[in-house]
């Protein structure tokens, strides 16, 4: 009975199963807790009666229906405690060691408070945090009222996540003094006058303080509840009512201009993801965890600093009329400490559904005198017209339908092989990943789904026909996730094609959305939603896609480390494991000997090909630069640090501009406008060059030439791209 209901639960919404089994009563009893007698000050933020009921409800759901079924005990309480402190003060810029020592009394109480619908500890900690923040704002004002000495030879460590807590208020004062000085120094070097810099920084902190004062009890509640949910699993999240509404509606409208989803991370507005088909996505210049530090309108308006802004206010500045220009200053997610923000120019537009669908292209490639035609199919996400599918409409829009059409067209054009590009594809409809796999294999299992009770369901391709049986490579990167990993993993397991690129994200879990209003009706505040992990994915071999993702047959160099990006960077991520393999029949299209040969050819090119050598050099530069944790606060030294970085970033641009000038000196740009236009043209051309894709073409060509059925041409690393 339970298994049947679990299937029903997953097919529809979690509400049905939860209601069927009947959760415990959500009344709470505060009298058993030491926090019951705590008296909040008049200006403290305090929990509401509704929040206490929601806390109890969420605790019941996670304890009984989350995939992991983690017991709510002292061990989990300790993790929640650490997460909450980190959520409030991740850079250790407000609390002191004494504050943390005082909070330690709550470390093993949070599990009991969660069970009893008690929020005293969460709000006590927050109110101390708020008071400490107010002290910091007052201190910054005092620093900005005095002259700043840029000649003293001292350093500053911007990233304090792994640092020790300041032992005293005086030590914290010194950290903040250096933080203020660092900002003023960078602005000074960029050409901003001292008086203007001080004025702008003073306004930044006044604005931050004003935003801070707008924080409401529900915001504190969400922070604490997510410290709880994320201790269980990084993809389980609680949404307060206003955030739940944004999750489904307002977010998509708010970020329509550039096509990016944003959220606050500390003092920064951070990019969560780029909406497929939007300007940000197509630019290939923005990635998750990039931080926006300033925004400018058009090509000539000055930048507005947005550090310390709320996301909603930043959005008002970023969005705008269609076909207008917005410029962003971005601190890249993989940028070393003390990096100079890069500038990204985007043209706002309305995001169109068709911009996010699969695309086809034919690539012409010349190899030792022989012409190759390669098909490129780019799939930004796994989409499906769910309503059309439910209604049985003929020709409803889907990934599989579009790709099938493209494959037939490519066969008619007699391509020699196909590249399926899944880079930055975050997933989508599971059934599309299954049916898409079916275009390349005969019928058979594609992915296994395991529920929390251990029941395993297998998703099969039941169509014996194969749309395309030629050579295939699947190109992935660190941001290929979920359904992308299912498709790539199946192609690899069936030995149907080569997977090349970076290790994928490693998201092998399934979430369902629970509307909590169904259980707590009549509450005056609304109660929000819970996104909860219910299942886990496994490949046909029995190996989970969770945590490890898909390891390419040929792995490209990457600046995105597993410890910083992807599932393996999340401490609470569900572990990798294995279940029994399914019965499936691999093809003979790829064998171990061929992969070894292809890897050797690729390794040779890494040493000789100019583009690959530059790529490796750039990645090594970034990795080495990221090892540096401090920056100089002495003007001459900091000036040199910034100049060296700018030279590195602009060296290629300058070379290209100089080269173009030398070839056609009569067309050399002389005025600043012409130079700017020339640089924009060069930058556009540079973005069109894709080292990873070029190497994918070489590997696919190598693969084709290794096929006994292919007329033999001596394999070499000399090729010519048309």
Q: How far is CA 70 from the centre of its chain?
A: 26
Mean pLDDT of the region 587-606: 95
Tokens read off for 623: 């990795």
How many other CB atoms sit within 10 Å of the CB of residue 22?
7
Q: Which helix (H) or strand (E) holds 88?
A: helix 74-88
Please identify which of the residues 53, 79, 92, 507 carries the catalytic annotation: 507
Q: What is the helix (H) or strand (E) element at residue 537, kind and residue range?
A: strand 529-538
- Classify the phi-psi angles of 369: left when phi > 0, otherwise alpha if psi is within -120 to 50, otherwise beta: left
Residue 326's nearest CA partner among 252, 250, 260 is: 260
pLDDT in tens, 220-253: 999 999 999 999 999 999 988 876 555 444 333 3
pLDDT at 61 over 70: yes
Name the CA dihedral angle for 374, 375, 380, 383, rounded to a multiple of 10 degrees: -160
**Rg (the chain; Cα; Å):** 28
DSSP SS3 for 61: helix
Which residue in the list 246, 482, 512, 696 is annotated as catalytic?
482
Instruction: Report the distance separating Cα 602 and Cα 697, nearest Å.
Output: 11
Q: Residue 61: which of 179, 225, 219 has the closest Cα?
A: 225
pLDDT at 578 over 80: yes
Q: Report d(CA 673, CA 679) in Å as an integer.
A: 10
Q: Which residues contact residue 497 at a Cβ distance below 8 angstroms, ignoring those fewer than 6 apart?
A: 420, 440, 471, 472, 473, 474, 491, 589, 590
d(C-alpha 378, C-alpha 383), whole Å: 13
**Highest-confidence segment of 291-305, 479-493, 674-688:** 479-493
Ranking 294-298, 439-443, 663-667 by mean pLDDT, the lowest is 663-667
Query: Phi-psi region for residue 495, left (φ > 0), alpha (ψ -120 to 50) or beta?
Result: left
Q: Which H or E element spans position 271? A: strand 268-274
Architecture of 355-645+677-706 per CATH? Alpha-Beta Complex (3.90)
The DSSP annotation for 383-409 comes to -B-HHHHHTT-TT--BHHHHHHHHHHH
Q: Give the residue from 277, 320, 272 showing the smallest Cα distance to 292.
A: 272
Mean pLDDT of 127-144: 95
711: Cβ–Cβ under 8 A, 6 or more apart, which residues?
none
Please tell me the total number of residues recorded for the chain in this structure.
722
For the chain, helix, strand, coil in percent to 5 are: 45, 15, 40
Q: In the predicted model, is pLDDT for residue 482 greater than 50? A: yes
Considering the domain 254-352 in this protein, what is its CATH number? 2.30.42.10
Domain ranges of the chain: 49-232, 254-352, 355-645+677-706
pLDDT of residue 179: 94
* Burial of 587 from C-beta contacts in 10 A (0-12 / 13-18 / 19+): middle
pLDDT at 597: 96
Kindly indicate the confidence band of residue 695, based on its pLDDT and cuts at 50, 70 and 90.
Answer: very high
Mean pLDDT, all residues of the chain: 83
For the record, the structure tokens of 441 come out as: 């294999």
Average pLDDT of the residues in 570-595: 94
**pLDDT winner (highest mean) among 83-87, 254-258, 641-645:** 83-87
| Across 457-473, average pLDDT | 96
Longest CA–CA separation in the chain, Å: 86
Q: Are the C-beta atoms of residues 518 and 493 closer than 8 Å to each other?
A: no
Going through 355-496 in order, the beta strands assigned E by DSSP cover 359-367, 370-378, 417-421, 444-451, 456-461, 472-476
Q: Does the annotation mark 102 as catalytic?
A: no
Is the confidence at residue 438, as pLDDT, over 90?
yes
| CA angle, residues 148, 151, 156, in degrees to nearest 5 | 75
Nearest Cα to Cα of residue 188 among 639, 646, 641? 639
Question: Residue range 409-427: average pLDDT?
Answer: 95
pLDDT surpassing 90 at residue 484: yes
Indicate if 493 belongs to the active site: yes
The DSSP code for 439 is: T
Which DSSP string do the residues of 227-258 spell out, in sequence order?
A: HHHHHH-TT-EEE-HHHHHIIIIIHHHHTTTT
List pLDDT tens digits, range 254-293.
344 687 878 777 678 888 877 776 788 778 788 888 889 8
Q: Decide the pairing of beta strands 325-331 and 291-297.
A: antiparallel
Tokens of 597: 């040969």
As a whole number of angstroms, the distance between CA 597 and CA 699 comes to 11
Instruction: Please give the pLDDT value at position 560.
Output: 82
> CB of 652 within 8 A of CB of 686?
yes
Question: Which residues sit opposite 273 in a β-bridge?
Answer: 261
pLDDT band with cut points at 50, 70 and 90 for residue 686? very low
Q: Are 366 and 722 in contact (CB under 8 A)?
A: yes
| pLDDT tens digits, 552-575 | 999 999 888 777 788 888 889 999
CB atoms within 10 A of CB 244: 21
Task: Note if 507 is an active site residue.
Answer: yes
Residue with the larger pLDDT of the pair 150 and 568? 150
CA distances (Å), 249 to each of 252, 253, 261, in order? 6, 7, 12
> Per mean pLDDT, which range of 199-208, 384-393, 674-683, 685-694 is the poorest?
674-683
Q: Of 89, 416, 493, 589, which residue is the catalytic one?
A: 493
Query: What residues does 295 pair with on adjacent strands?
Result: 304, 328
Q: Which residues of 41-62 are buried (b: 16+ CB within 10 A; e: fewer)?
A: eeeebebeebbbbbbbbbbbbb
**Per-residue three-class SS string for 165-178:** CECCHHHHHHHHHH
User: In the prediction, which pLDDT does 311 show?
Assistant: 78
Of 524 and 649, the structure prediction assigns the larger pLDDT to 524
Write down the pLDDT at residue 181: 95
Tokens representing 429 are 């409809």
Q: Which of 196, 192, 166 is nearest to 179 (CA)?
A: 166
Name the residue with tokens 């030294």. Answer: 637
| pLDDT at residue 685, as a whole number | 53
Q: How far is CA 373 from CA 207, 411, 423, 715, in A?
A: 57, 11, 21, 17
Q: Report percent pLDDT > 70 for the chain.
A: 84
* In contact, 494 and 588? CB cutoff 8 Å: no
Angle between helices 74-88 and 217-232 (to 10 degrees): 130
Are 91 and 160 in contact by the 8 Å Cβ rule? The answer is yes
Which comes out higher in pLDDT, residue 564 or 188?
188
pLDDT of residue 672 exceeding 80, the answer is no
CA pair distance 537, 458, nearest whole angstrom: 10
User: Reduced to 3 states, what is the DSSP secondary structure of residue 155?
Assistant: strand
Structural tokens at position 549: 């993702």
Q: What is the number of helices (H) and of strands (E) in the chain?
A: 23, 20
pLDDT of residue 623: 81
pLDDT in tens, 13-45: 333 333 333 344 333 343 344 455 678 888 899
Q: Residue 717 pLDDT > 80, yes or no?
A: no
CA–CA dist 258, 319 (Å, integer): 7
Lowest mean pLDDT among 36-40, 529-533, 634-638: 36-40
Give the pLDDT confidence score for residue 654 in this predicted structure: 41
pLDDT at 529: 92
């Amino acid at each position: 009975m339970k298994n049947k209901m679990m299937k029903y639960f997953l097919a529809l919404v979690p509400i049905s199963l939860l209601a069927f089994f009947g959760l415990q009563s959500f009344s709470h009893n505060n009298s058993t807790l030491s926090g019951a007698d705590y008296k909040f000050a008049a200006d403290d933020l305090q929990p509401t009666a509704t929040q206490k009921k929601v806390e109890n409800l969420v605790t019941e759901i996670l304890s009984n229906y989350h995939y992991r079924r983690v017991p709510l005990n002292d061990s989990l309480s300790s993790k929640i405690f650490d997460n909450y402190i980190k959520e409030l003060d991740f850079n250790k810029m407000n609390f002191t060691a004494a504050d943390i020592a005082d909070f330690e009394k709550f470390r093993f109480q949070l599990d009991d408070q969660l069970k009893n619908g008690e929020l005293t500890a969460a709000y006590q900690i927050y109110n101390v945090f708020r008071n400490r923040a107010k002290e910091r704002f007052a201190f910054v004002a005092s620093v900005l009222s005095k002259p700043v000495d840029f000649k003293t030879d001292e350093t500053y460590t911007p990233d304090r996540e792994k640092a020790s807590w300041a032992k005293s208020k005086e030590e914290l004062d010194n950290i903040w003094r250096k933080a203020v000085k660092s900002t003023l120094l960078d602005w000074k070097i960029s050409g901003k006058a001292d008086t203007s810099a001080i004025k702008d920084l003073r306004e930044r902190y006044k604005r931050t303080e004003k935003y801070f004062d707008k924080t409401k009890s529900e915001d504190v509640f969400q922070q604490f509840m997510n410290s709880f949910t994320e201790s269980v699993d990084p993809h389980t999240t609680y949404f307060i009512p206003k955030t739940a509404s944004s999750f489904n509606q307002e977010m998509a409208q708010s970020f329509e201009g550039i096509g990016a989803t944003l959220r606050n991370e500390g003092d920064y507005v951070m990019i969560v993801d780029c909406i497929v088909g939007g300007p940000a996505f197509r630019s290939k210049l923005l990635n998750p965890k990039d931080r926006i530090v300033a925004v400018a309108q058009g090509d000539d308006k000055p930048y507005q600093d947005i550090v310390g802004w709320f996301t909603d206010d930043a959005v008002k500045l970023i969005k705008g009329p269609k076909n207008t220009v917005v410029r962003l200053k971005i601190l890249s997610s993989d940028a070393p400490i003390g990096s100079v923000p890069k500038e990204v120019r985007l043209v706002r537009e309305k995001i169109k559904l068709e911009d996010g669908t699969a695309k086809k292209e034919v690539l012409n490639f010349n190899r030792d005198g022989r012409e190759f035609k390669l098909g490129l199919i780019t799939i930004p996400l796994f989409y499906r017209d769910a309503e059309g599918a439910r209604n049985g409409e003929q020709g409803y829009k889907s990934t599989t339908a579009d790709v099938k059409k493209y494959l037939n067209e490519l066969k008619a054009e007699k391509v020699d092989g196909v590249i399926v590009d899944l880079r930055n594809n975050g997933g989508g409809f599971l059934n599309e990943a299954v049916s898409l796999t079916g275009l390349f294999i005969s019928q058979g299992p594609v992915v296994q789904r395991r529920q929390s009770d251990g029941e395993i369901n297998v998703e099969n391709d039941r169509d014996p026909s194969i749309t395309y049986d030629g050579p295939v490579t699947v190109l992935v990167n660190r941001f290929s996730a979920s359904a992308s990993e299912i498709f790539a993993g199946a192609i690899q397991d069936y030995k149907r094609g080569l997977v090349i690129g970076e290790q994928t994200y490693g998201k092998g879990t399934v979430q369902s959305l629970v509307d909590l209003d169904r259980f707590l009706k009549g509450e005056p505040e609304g109660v929000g939603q819970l996104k909860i992990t219910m299942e886990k994915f496994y490949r046909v071999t029995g190996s989970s896609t969770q945590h490890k993702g898909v390891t390419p047959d040929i792995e490209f160099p990457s600046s995105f480390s597993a410890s910083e990006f992807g599932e393996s960077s999340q401490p609470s991520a569900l572990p990798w494991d294995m279940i029994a393999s399914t019965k499936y029949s691999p093809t003979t299209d790829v064998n171990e000997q061929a992969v070894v040969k292809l890897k050797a050819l690729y390794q040779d090119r890494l040493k000789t090909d100019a583009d690959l050598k530059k790529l490796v050099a750039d990645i090594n530069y970034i990795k080495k630069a990221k090892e540096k944790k401090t920056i100089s606060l002495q003007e001459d030294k900091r000036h040199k640090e910034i100049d060296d970085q700018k030279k590195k970033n602009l060296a290629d641009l300058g070379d290209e501009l100089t080269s173009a000038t030398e070839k056609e000196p009569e067309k050399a740009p002389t005025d600043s406008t012409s130079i700017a236009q020339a640089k924009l043209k060069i930058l556009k051309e540079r973005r069109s060059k894709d080292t990873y894709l070029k190497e994918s073409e070489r590997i696919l060509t190598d693969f084709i030439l290794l096929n006994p059925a292919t007329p033999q041409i001596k394999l070499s690393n000399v090729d010519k791209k048309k």
